[in-house]
Structure 1
Amino acid sequence: MMVRDAKAVQNEQLSTMPADLKPGAVRDIAGALNALLADVYALYLKTKNFHWHVSGPHFRDYHLLLDDHAGRSFAITDDIAERVRKIGGTTLRSIGHVNRLKRLLDNDADYVTPMDMFAELRDDNKQLIAKMRETHDLCDEYGYVATASLLENWIDEAER
């Protein structure tokens, strides 16, 4: 393939874009989903950080609980990104991109008590659920039922 042909292919829209979504809807939904994806990655990494650094008399239980929570967060990342691609958008490309879009705060503290870890993750999870609801409302506004339905499942899972 010639370089100019490769560049042309790179700039093509994904051919699976739903015909009934207007370009503004694609832009808005893809933007909301990418921000949500960045938040999920941020929550995943924070949870793994806490998993790696938890200590104390309940270490084993907390360690396993945090690992399970991280796994559940990571499990939806591919689905979110694929929704973006399905409508013809582009998705996150790097850690820097994640950092620019995420709304959850990092925790780089040298030591965090287990109870503070759980309180912070609880608050982050509440914030993530609120962002999921906003994205759901946006999908409803544009009549994009498929992604709205997935968001309902993710909200339900996050509320557990």
Structure 2
Amino acid sequence: MADTNAALRTPTDLNRNDTKSVADALNSALADSFALYFKTKNFHWHVSGPHFRDYHLLLDDQAAQILGITDAIAERVRKTGNLTLRSVGDIGRRQTLTDNDADYVSPGDMLAELREDNLKLVESFRTVKQAAEDAGDNATSGIVDEWTDQAEERAWFLFEASRKG
């Protein structure tokens, strides 16, 4: 039986078995990034209350930042000679963050939930970092630091925006 993925196998000097673990970690982080992007946009569209404008703009900025890294994550998977996500169903099977389909979520609960989700994404990026270092994949190891910093900053902004008084 022919290897159907052979046509997409990008040349790399990295060990294929090692890059598979990096790709799995990256694809998990990518699925969570898409899930977090959509949840952030959901809350952006449905936020209400006295801080509407501030929260609306904050969540829109954060969603744009999250979406901005998805292509870089997917392309990193491909550069290591592996395959990345292909569909919404694939995202759903791999994501570890929970969706929120509630008809109403208070603004404070929105900020708290997104803060926790961003911190979970940080954990996912740390898993990517470790897998990359174990594989000798210094490019992935280096680039994931920026994604981690961005997620930590989003969590910090959400924390500060939710403080009372």
TM over 0.5: yes
Runs of 5+ in structure 1 lacking a partner? 1-6
Match for 1:18 among 12, 16, 36? 12
1:90-105 → structure 2 map (5 Å cutoff): 90-105=83-98
Say how many residue pairs are matched: 152
Residue 7 of structure 2 aligns to a residue whose secondary structure is: coil
Deviating beyond 6 angstroms after TM superposition, the runs of 4 or more aligned structure 1 residues are none
Per the normalisation by structure 2, the TM-score is 0.88
Runs of 5+ in structure 2 lacking a partner? 154-165
Per the normalisation by structure 1, the TM-score is 0.90
How far apart are 1:25 and its partner, in Å?
A: 1.1
Separation in 2 of the partners of 1:42 and 1:53? 17
Match for 2:131 among 131, 138, 143? 138
Identity value in percent: 51
Opposite residue 93 of structure 2, the aligned amino acid is R
Contact 2:19 2:135 in 1 (8 A): no
Separation in 1 of the partners of 2:5 and 2:120? 35
Match for 1:40 among 33, 39, 59? 33
Contact 1:14 1:88 in 2 (8 A): yes
Tell me the equivalent position of 2:68: 75
Residue 130 of structure 1 aligns to a residue whose secondary structure is: helix
How far apart are 1:8 and its partner, in Å?
A: 7.9
Tell me the equivalent position of 2:162: none
Separation in 1 of the partners of 2:83 and 2:8? 9
How far apart are 1:13 and its partner, in Å?
A: 4.0
